[in-house]
Amino acid sequence: MSTTVDTVRPISITERCDQCSAQAMVRATLASGELYFCGHHARATGNKLVTQSINVFDPNGVFNYGKQ
């Protein structure tokens, strides 16, 4: 399965991290639904998040998706 970058729908300012309720910075779409992460938790899940996601929306480059 390959991961694509979701650039269609921005993250709303009201969206919150599913782990700590901070403002969401990254949205990951998985087969089971969407997950939102703050910068800290996006970096903490890092590559595992990307490899398990269908789409990733990371407009601020929180964990440099696609860069080595």
Whether 40 maps to a domain, the answer reads: yes
Mean pLDDT, the chain, whole residue set: 84
Tokens of 36: 């939102």
Whether 27 maps to a domain, the answer reads: yes
> Residue 46: which domain range?
4-57
Given a contact cutoff of 8 angstroms between Cβ atoms, the answer to whether 52 and 30 are in contact is yes
Q: Which of 14, 46, 40 is nearest to 28 (CA)?
A: 46
The H-or-E segment that residue 49 falls in is helix 39-52
Q: 5 vs 51, which has greater pLDDT?
A: 51
pLDDT at 21 (0 to 100): 93
Q: 48 vs 33, which has greater pLDDT?
A: 33
Whether 22 maps to a domain, the answer reads: yes
Whether 28 maps to a domain, the answer reads: yes
